[in-house]
Amino acid sequence: MKGVILDEKDLSATQHEEAKNTRIQVEDQDQGRSKHPAPEKAKGEEETHCFLLKMGRMVRLTRREDFTRLFREGEKYDFGPVRLWAASKKEGPLRTAFVGKSKRSVRRNRIRRRLREAFLRHFFPYVNHLPCDLLFMSDERLMRSDFLAIAEWIGELLLRAGILEKDRIYSECKKKYPEKR
């Protein structure tokens, strides 16, 4: 269409059909805002997330034979409401499993998520190169605990199992989450 059309009356029938059938090209369209904008990040949060992505994905322990070997050959450690089974192997990546004990699935899943997040944030960067299998298990008492306590329990279990060699690593979670007393 040439020129500027000021009124509908100025349109001929062919121009009206052309104007009605024209669409904005996809690359010219305004995509608008996302329905779910990205949350604002804290200062150190972005660096931690990038560090976790560089390390790779945490490998899960899934096969029945592996669980049987873990319970048969592995060592069991208890501290607080968290229990750890650890078994070393000759080679391969660190594999983990998180188990929540409850009659309700919502609670089981929440227990597993809290255990997994505490391990992933505080200890996975330091132990991901070790060839061993770990199983963390807890019950509903974990739901009433704060995140710092969960991280301390996991750290103490890893120290007792000999997986963490340095107390410095274990004390880093206390620096991130100062106690509220």
3-state secondary structure of 135: strand
Domain limits, the chain: 58-176
DSSP one-letter code for 104: S
Cα–Cα distance for residue pair 115/110, rounded to 1 Å: 9
**Residue where the block lists tokens 């620096």:** 175
Which tokens hold the place of 4? 């500027």
- Asked if residues 59 and 30 have their Cβ atoms less than 8 Å apart, the reply is no
Cα–Cα distance for residue pair 68/64, rounded to 1 Å: 6
Which tokens hold the place of 38? 């990205």
- Give me the pLDDT at residue 169, please: 57
Architecture of domain 58-176 in CATH?
2-Layer Sandwich (3.30)
Q: Smallest Cα–Cα separation from 101: which of 138, 56, 151?
A: 138
Cα–Cα distance for residue pair 86/146, rounded to 1 Å: 24
Sorted by sequence, the CB contacts under 8 Å of residue 164 that are 6+ apart come out as 123, 126, 127, 155, 158, 170
Q: Smallest Cα–Cα separation from 162: which of 84, 105, 63?
A: 84
- Give me the pLDDT at residue 103, please: 94
- Asked if residues 149 and 80 have their Cβ atoms less than 8 Å apart, the reply is yes
Q: Smallest Cα–Cα separation from 80: which of 114, 104, 46?
A: 114
- Asked if residues 108 and 100 have their Cβ atoms less than 8 Å apart, the reply is yes
DSSP one-letter code for 161: T
**Residue 137 corresponds to which amino acid?**
M
3-state secondary structure of 128: coil
Q: pLDDT per position in the chain (181 positions), as tens?
A: 555 555 555 556 666 666 666 555 555 555 555 555 555 555 554 444 444 444 457 889 989 999 999 999 999 999 999 999 999 999 988 999 999 999 999 999 999 999 999 999 988 888 888 899 999 999 999 989 999 999 999 999 999 998 887 655 555 555 655 555 4
